[in-house]
Amino acid sequence: MKPVERIRVDRRYRDFVRFHTHVTYPEMSERREQINSLEVVKKLDAIGMQHLPLPIIWDGVHLVDEGKLAGKNEIERRTRLTYRMRMWKAWRLMDDFLQRSTRDAELYYRLSLLLGGIDFEQIHGRTDIDRAIANVAVIATAKRSLAVGIPAEKVAAQINWALQEVGGLEADEVELLECLPDESKLKPADQIDHSQMSVDRGVTAIQLVENIDTRGKIASLFSECFGGKSEDSAEKEIHPLSVRRLNVASRLLAEPSMEALLRISRVANEYVAFQPRFEKKMLPAADGDQTRMRMMASYDELPRMAPAAWAVKVASAKYFRYRLATKSFMVREKVKRSDKKQLFYAMLDRSKSMQQGERIYKLLAILMNRLRAVMRREAVLGYSFFDSAVHEQVMVQDISEAQDEIRRLEYDFFMGDDTDINLALREGIKRIRSVVDDVDAERPELIIVTDGDHGINVKPKELKGIMLHVFIVEENNEDLIQLAQKTGGVALQAL
């Protein structure tokens, strides 16, 4: 993620940012075991967030434990106590008359109202401690946002939006999103097309720019919370998924095009025809390592009948002969598990026109959507980039290789010549035919992601046995859409 600009806080809010007065009550019932705040502190130290004051950790813990927000009078009392604890004795005597220790009470009350507007239930974690850590980061960000003058309603709206976007992300999605190149490498600032972005989001250009500005400020404050956190992926066990989701949320707020990536990935996966179809089959095999029971198919299988069948013969020979005549006995059969995976092959457009709008992000969305199936060991993925020619084939055998491939897909990579979709389709079919047996896969599907609007002369019969999925970004191509529909695949345009 690109470095964000530090936001200066007015001197008036110095103590409000440096210190913290907790604005919540803990849940007092004994219906559940309370979270140990010391464990939360240790975990915060481990991920580099040890600079946060203890009372803000109490707030994070209380909100996990279904605690309540304090009222205005209680917050004023706590604020006065917090500030007076840091005063010299002489200053405390003066404060009895000047009441300077309560000057930030109104700010803390506004913070309390702001926290009441944030949907903390959208923060998910493996444990309550993980949720508490994420809560602490959100509270610290909300507090700093108030200090830099962002209206409370905007802070709550943008944080809720970011939490909603990342709340459902699974570990494999987060892992892939963490591999994305910086926005400056995917979309230089001078190439950002606000008009296309506003059309995609259904808002005016003015609203879009305002949202981007607000989100950028909040993102920089999120980043301050994670200051000092190790980026070493080998130590993921100390970085809870809830915190990694917030790190993605910080990037989502800072990089507007990330929103398009998540949206396209989710839209694609809503279509049943585009969901991986992985089945574990049990096939009969003389050397099988497992045994299953099934109904008798022929009289040649008499030696394999279950022992209980012969007991029926002893009890009633007539009934035994009836069962035998109707082949209603169970027989034992040796089987071997077949783990053939589904084959996806993607043809990805790398022509220079893909640099426009948010097309690179949308292409990455489809690629990452299929990589998730590989990470879950449900599919085999191969892909090639194309422009006026089809480039080398990449077969994803290991997820670390896939991550390296994602990291190299920068803005300057998409510098190809004109787009030849017909060549890409025919070469994709050819490569699928040659790959399907080599990788022991089945049910091949061809995916094409392009912004080309050229005519198509490929016939459905050329795709016999292959389902075609088409994703046309920010353009339309009716010929390509109709071809995909004839094969039963997903066909989307103007993404």
Choose one of 291, 312, 338: the last residue of a domain: 338
Instruction: Classify residue 262: in a domain, yes or no.
Output: no
Phi and psi angles of residue 9, each rounded to the nearest 5 degrees, phi first: -105, 135
Looking at the fold, whether 345 and 482 belong to one and the same domain comes out as yes
What is the per-residue pLDDT across 72-83, written as a single tens digit (0 to 9) for each?
888 888 888 888
pLDDT of residue 449: 93
Q: Please report, for residues 12, 36, 87, 147, 186, the alpha-carbon distance to residue 108 in angstroms, rounded to integers and kept in the order given.
A: 14, 25, 19, 11, 40
Q: Round the average pLDDT of the chain to a whole number and report it.
A: 81
Tokens of 140: 């610290």
Choose one of 301, 316, 338: the last residue of a domain: 338
Looking at the fold, whether 420 and 310 belong to one and the same domain comes out as no
Instruction: Classify residue 261: in a domain, yes or no.
Output: no
Instruction: Classify residue 457: in a domain, yes or no.
Output: yes
Looking at the fold, whether 214 and 350 belong to one and the same domain comes out as no
pLDDT of residue 85: 81
- Other CB atoms closer than 10 Å to residue 320's CB: what's the count? 17
pLDDT of residue 483: 92
Looking at the fold, whether 320 and 357 belong to one and the same domain comes out as no
Phi and psi angles of residue 4, each rounded to the nearest 5 degrees, phi first: -100, 150
Instruction: Classify residue 442: in a domain, yes or no.
Output: yes
What is the per-residue pLDDT across 242-263, written as a single tens digit (0 to 9) for each?
888 888 888 888 888 888 888 8
Tokens of 91: 């200053």
What is the per-residue pLDDT across 287-316, written as a single tens digit (0 to 9) for each?
777 788 888 888 888 888 888 888 888 888
User: Per the structure, how many domains does the chain have?
Assistant: 3
Tokens of 177: 């999103």
What is the per-residue pLDDT across 11-47, written as a single tens digit (0 to 9) for each?
677 777 777 888 887 765 544 456 777 888 887 777 7
Average pLDDT score over residue span 188-204: 71
102 contacts 18 by C-beta, under 8 angstroms? no
Looking at the fold, whether 193 and 215 belong to one and the same domain comes out as yes
Looking at the fold, whether 346 and 322 belong to one and the same domain comes out as no
Average pLDDT score over residue span 467-475: 91
CATH code of residue 483: 3.40.50.410
pLDDT band, very low/low/confident/very high, at 280 (cuts 50, 70, 90): low
Looking at the fold, whether 317 and 351 belong to one and the same domain comes out as no
Instruction: Classify residue 1: in a domain, yes or no.
Output: no
What is the per-residue pLDDT across 377-423, written as a single tens digit (0 to 9) for each?
778 888 999 988 899 888 887 677 777 778 877 777 888 888 889 99
Question: Which structural domain, as residue segments, surrounds residue 459?
Answer: 271-278+340-492
Instruction: Classify residue 402: in a domain, yes or no.
Output: yes
pLDDT at residue 426 greater than cutoff 80? yes
Looking at the fold, whether 207 and 171 belong to one and the same domain comes out as yes
Of residues 277 and 318, the one with the higher pLDDT is 318
Looking at the fold, whether 308 and 370 belong to one and the same domain comes out as no
108 contacts 75 by C-beta, under 8 angstroms? yes
Choose one of 255, 290, 313: the last residue of a domain: 255
Instruction: Classify residue 265: in a domain, yes or no.
Output: no
Instruction: Classify residue 33: in a domain, yes or no.
Output: yes
456 contacts 397 by C-beta, under 8 angstroms? no
Looking at the fold, whether 153 and 210 belong to one and the same domain comes out as yes
Looking at the fold, whether 47 and 136 belong to one and the same domain comes out as yes
Looking at the fold, whether 204 and 89 belong to one and the same domain comes out as yes
pLDDT of residue 242: 84
